[in-house]
Amino acid sequence: MNPTNIRQQYRHIRRQLPESTQSLHASLLKQNINDLLGSPKALKIAAYIATQGEISLKPWIAENKHHQIFLPKLYEVNAPELRFAELTKDTQWEKNRFNILEPEASWENTLLPQQLDIVLIPLVAFDREGHRLGMGGGYYDRSFAFRLTQKNNSQPKLIGVAHSCQEYPQLSQQSWDVPLDSIITEKEVITSEPGTN
Ligand SMILES: Nc1ncnc2c1ncn2[C@@H]1O[C@H](COP(=O)(O)OP(=O)(O)OP(=O)(O)O)[C@@H](O)[C@H]1O
Ligand SMILES: [Mg+2]
């Protein structure tokens, strides 16, 4: 199947999950995220607000007291890019052009992708080599392109987050696609093993 067909089919699979499955998966996911983090150190972690059947981070966000959580904001200054605004109890919301909620924050009050420790990334499909098919905007790929060239430094850690049914046996990879370090689903934490497929 070509990427366009996979995207179409897997977006459909995600949207078709019943509400009861969604909420079960979100609560199982919370435990798997906590197991993966396992860190006593407070980290700067980018999350997302789930849309269109994406697995929800809400239970994990609601319970988190330890880490600083940031949410992506879409900017198009010269090229499309993501910046990250902190989520606090005072956060006010606005919608971006894709109708996705973002925190209200001025540009100066956002973090660069390089300033994060961990990025939880939504996706349409993934494979066990860490390949990821997103919604097709190239936003995450553009914003984390520096991970493709930096040597001896794999910060921030890029973690795909998905329902287990979003696994595809083997996705093709374009030169600009930034691979994931790991994937968390409601079932397991998968450490990417490039080149084993
Ligand atoms: N680093 C980059 N520089 C310039 N253009 C890029 C870069 N990364 C991706 N793009 C462009 O973005 C378009 C969409 O990329 P792709 O199909 O990989 O999106 P995606 O990974 O599904 O989306 P996203 O990253 O938002 O989840 C591509 O056609 C590509 O030209
Ligand atoms: Mg891509």
Task: Output the pLDDT for position 154.
Answer: 87
Atom of ligand 1 lying closest to residue 79 CA: 4
More confident residue, 194 or 177: 177
Pocket flag, ligand 1, residue 136 (CB < 6 Å): yes
Pocket flag, ligand 1, residue 100 (CB < 6 Å): no
Q: How far apart are CA 125 and CA 9, in angstroms?
A: 10
CA of 35 to the centre of ligand 1 (A): 31
Tens-digit pLDDT profile for residues 134-151: 999 999 999 999 999 987
Quick one: pLDDT band at residue 40, thresholds 50, 70, 90?
confident
Mean of per-residue pLDDT scores for the chain? 94
Determine the average pLDDT of the residues in 83-89: 96
Q: Is 93 helix (H, G, I), strand (E, B) or coil?
A: strand
Considering only 50-54, 112-116, 147-151, which range has the smallest mean pLDDT? 147-151
* Residue that the structure tokens 């997302």 belong to: 48
Pocket flag, ligand 1, residue 137 (CB < 6 Å): yes
Pocket flag, ligand 1, residue 142 (CB < 6 Å): yes
22 and 165 Cβ atoms separated by less than 8 Å: no
Task: Output the pLDDT for position 79.
Answer: 85
- What is the largest distance, in Å, between two alpha-carbon atoms of the chain? 46
CATH number of 3-191: 3.40.50.10420
All residues at 6 or more sequence positions from 30 whose CB lies less than 8 Å from its CB, including other chains: 59, 60, 63
Q: Taking the domains of the chain in order of start, what are their residue ranges? A: 3-191
- Count how many Cα atoms sit within 13 Å of the Cα of residue 91 in the half-sphere of its side chain: 16
CA of 100 to the centre of ligand 2 (A): 19
Distance of CA 10 to CAs 49, 67, 92, 96, 135, Å? 19, 31, 32, 24, 10
